[in-house]
Structure 1
Amino acid sequence: MILVLAGTEEGRRVAALLQQEGFSVQVSAVTAYGTKLLAQQGLSNISAGPLDEAALQQVLKQGITLLVDATHPFACQASQNAMAAAAAVGVPYLRLERPATALPEHSLVHEASDLATAIEKSLSLGKVIFSTLGSKNLAPLVAAARSHGAQVVARVLPDSNVLRSCQELGLTPAQLVALQGPCSRELNAALYRQYQAQVVLTKNSGSTGGVEEKIDAALQVGIPIVVWQRPKLHYPLILQQPKEVVQYCLKYLPKG
């Protein structure tokens, strides 16, 4: 059986493709919303909730022949847990990671190697920061912005738990854009203008995350954008397309 950690659109797609090819597939999703999306893809063997390294080891011992890590490019801890658990149990590990976006050479486009650098750079460029980093990275941004007399406008998922966590950080309704992306260039530009953004802060989550549209919109509006680049992890095997994973499994794994 193949275990897919399906924290992304690519993860859901590869799980469905593997099932269509006749492989036995178990899919893991962290959230109830992720579970619902997987069910809509026609997948039935779904487990919900986060898995630490120890819990993942126990799952892998239940007849898993391959671990496909399709978690988010910035979910470093999840990938590190997956690699460690697979190595400990002796199950082959395969990383499915969408390609990063090549950033244009432009004076308004700034790269940052980590979150702290991204926040510092953003604060040096403007006092109204439009963040599309997601709710999990908001706490250090909001704290730094307050200490610098800056304001954060955060685009986050329209999820009650996410909105509650944002309110607990002290963000007001006027500072929250509850909207699921990716968004078009036109919508991004309209949001930047509506909230009078002076700088955009995002991460290089690839084309699926709408990075190109965010950058294009910032250039259109004429404001700087800071792009947090992906952390570098050393994966034992990495593929970039769901079809490549299916081809790998067809070549090396028995069905069933």
Structure 2
Amino acid sequence: MKIFLLGGTKDSINIIQHIKENYDAYIMTTTTTEYGARLAMEGGSDDTIARPLPKDEIIKILTDEGFDILIDATHPFAAHITQTSAGIARELKIPYIRFERPITNLENIDTSHIHYVNSFDDAGKLIAGKFSQGNVLHFAGANTMADIVKYVPVERFYPRILKVENSIRKCDELGIDSSHIIPMTGAATLEENIDLIEKYDASVMITKESGEIGGVVEKIEAANQKDIAIIMIQRPEIELLEKDDIVNDLTEMDKKIKSF
């Protein structure tokens, strides 16, 4: 079995390890960074591609190399690649699985500090209008910073990002001082989030609704304990994605693979 895996997330590493332990499979993983590719290889992927792939190139790889299954385990906010990959699978009539981490269960969590918005642009406007004092912790990746600093002075802005060349360059282009960059190596614990809030005198935290594996609960609880606002960007809806395409855990993925 040959599997083409769109990766770059913790979920994708778990998928690689699970498939390698339970199936006779060759896995090629694509990520947008060298860092993601290295983690995929360490997780057991047979090969990796460490750059964004255009639609035509994905189609060529799938057809030329005879892949049996396309698994999309990209981030819940990578709407463009998910829409593209779902469309490619339909076009090529190749079995397709969208592995999507469940939305965070907040049933027993105090949500009074959360302000929901639909975009980062909306988040920036909300901060400018309602939270004009104190510093801003940005826990939502380097690619989304520009939408915030359109409205928020960089002097108040502290992004937690992977310290890779592309992300550092984005900070430079936006005028974000290197002393404001918080290195990221994975989801932070509750204690680490509290420490960051205190260290940077934050009044606002920005995060995506990226699921429990993305550390959302720990961010909310830290914001609650320190009595600061948390602005949560809700997940985008993806038009070409059908309910039957989606699995939320490895057991569901196994059932899907065995049904092909």
- TM-score of the superposition, structure 2-length normalised? 0.89
Q: Distance in 2 between matches of 1:155 and 1:213?
A: 15
Alignment match, 1:139? 146
Candidates 48, 72, 88, aligned match of 2:91: 88
- Contact in 1 for aligned 2:136/2:205 (Cα 8 Å): yes
Between stretches 240-249 and 28-37, larger displacement belongs to 240-249
Do the aligned residues in 1 keep the contact of 2:117 with 2:123 (CA within 8 Å)?
yes
1:248 alignment partner in structure 2: 256
Percentage of matched positions with identical amino acids: 30
For residues 217 and 184 of structure 1, the distance between their equivalents in structure 2, rounded to whole angstroms, comes to: 9
* Alpha-carbon shift at residue 150 of structure 1 (Å): 7.0
Equivalences for residues 79-228 of structure 1 within 5 A: 79-103=82-106, 104-123=109-128, 124-127=130-133, 128-146=135-153, 151-228=156-233
Residue range with higher mean Cα deviation, 199-208 or 56-65: 56-65
2:76 pairs with one of 65, 73, 77: 73
Q: Distance in 1 between matches of 2:212 and 2:160?
A: 18
2:56 and 2:165 map into 1 onto residues whose CA distance is 30
Q: From the superposition, tell whether residues 210 and 126 of structure 1 become closer, same or farther in structure 2 (CA, over 3 Å).
A: farther
Per-residue deviation, residues 76-113 of structure 1 (Å, max 9, x unmatched): 11111111221222212210011111344533211112
Match of 2:4 in 1: 3
Name 1:238's counterpart in structure 2: 246
- 1:221: Cα distance to partner? 0.5
Corresponding letter in the other structure for 1:88? E
1:6 maps to a residue whose letter is G
- 1:12 aligned partner: 13
| Contact 1:126-1:199 within 8 A present in 2 as well | no
Partner residue in 2 for 1:30? 32
How far 1:248 moved relative to its partner?
A: 2.1
Q: Deviations over 1:12-66 (max 9, x none)?
A: 2212322331123222222111111111112223232211211111122131222
In 2, the alpha carbon distance for the partners of 1:215 and 1:49 equals 32
Q: What are the within-5 Å matches in structure 2 for residues 40-51 of structure 1?
A: 40-51=42-53
After superposition, the Cα gap between the structure-2 partners of 1:200 and 1:126, relative to the gap in structure 1 and judged at 3 Å, is farther
CA RMSD of aligned residues (A): 1.8
Deviation string, structure 1 residues 129-152 (Cα, Å, up to 9, x no partner): 111111000012112113xx9721
Equivalent pair of 2:119/2:234 in contact (CA under 8 Å): yes
Structure 1 SS opposite 2:219: helix
Distance in 1, matches of 2:167 and 2:32, equals 14
Rounded to whole Å, the distance in 2 between the matches of 1:179 and 1:54 is 33
8 Å CA contact 1:60, 1:86 repeated in 2: no
Task: State the alpha-carbon separation in 2 of the partners of residues 160 and 47 from structure 1.
Answer: 17
Match of 1:53 among 24, 37, 55: 55
Contact 2:3–2:27 (CA under 8 A) maintained in structure 1: yes
Structure 1 range deviating more: 118-127 or 79-88: 118-127
For 2:31 and 2:209, the matched residues in 1 are separated by 22
How far apart, in 1, do the equivalents of 2:67 and 2:46 lie? 16
